[in-house]
Amino acid sequence: AQKVTQAQTEISVVEKEDVTLDCVYETRDTTYYLFWYKQPPSGELVFLIRRNSFDEQNEISGRYSWNFQKSTSSFNFTITASQVVDSAVYFCALVGGETSGSRLTFGEGTQLTVNP
Amino acid sequence: DTEVTQTPKHLVMGMTNKKSLKCEQHMGHRAMYWYKQKAKKPPELMFVYSYEKLSINESVPSRFSPECPNSSLLNLHLHALQPEDSALYLCASSQEGLAIDTQYFGPGTRLTVL
């Protein structure tokens, strides 16, 4: 069975602060894929990144960076110099390559509020 | 700009009504999905179509009836819904419906059942 845990239900920061959203996962598959999605108040889930289990390189995209560590089963997401437009619910998700088909297992989400 | 579109954006219906939600994708994808999302919860998978064939039905009640007329279009027919079916319904598409594929979501339809 797959499981994704986002222990932080809500985070509130002031603009320009850095913030890290935690994601811990469980899977028995050796091949799996991890995702982060952003859901602003409008409702659409916006794809941010996909990582496969064989690629532990960290990734940076503008103010966003991701730290994937297989040893701790974590795939954390950091926003540098946060902005009000970053306010949203962020979901971490997992697909097991051997057992899940295309079923995404989502974490419960982290509500990020960035205050001006 | 999203390449997955959903209509209508909002829908209010009574328990005896019949209505349909529509989804269209313009990315040439061969897999399409319906999800249901309640407030403050993650999306829950309902159905998956791959190459226009239903490949996954997550034990969804028969009052929800999916239809995939072609690989670009996905409908969800609603009949005799209950108030607890009120939710955000999200459509998504992916290249082939494989685990490796990224799912791209539409903006959703907010459904209220009175």
> According to the model, what pLDDT value does residue B45 have?
96
Condensed to tens digits (0 to 9), the pLDDT of residues B26-66 reads 999 999 999 999 999 999 999 999 999 999 999 999 999 99
Query: Is the separation of the CB atoms in B104 and A47 below 8 Å?
Result: yes
* Interchain CB distance below 8 Å, B99 and A42: no
Which token pair is A19?
A: 């913030």
Measured at the alpha carbon of residue B39, what is the angle toward residues B36 and B24, in degrees to the nearest 5? 35
For testing the chain A interface, which of B50, B100, B101 should be mutated: the one with the most A CBs within 10 Å? B100
Residues in contact with A28: Cβ distance below 8 Å, sequence separation at least 6, in sequence order? A1, A96, A99
Condensed to tens digits (0 to 9), the pLDDT of residues A17-38 reads 999 999 999 999 999 999 999 9
Confirm or reject contact between B101 and chain A (CB < 8 A): yes
Q: Which residues of chain A have pLDDT under 70?
A: none
Query: Is the separation of the CB atoms in B69 and B75 below 8 Å?
Result: yes
Q: Which chain B residue is nearest to residue A43, measuring alpha carbons?
A: B107
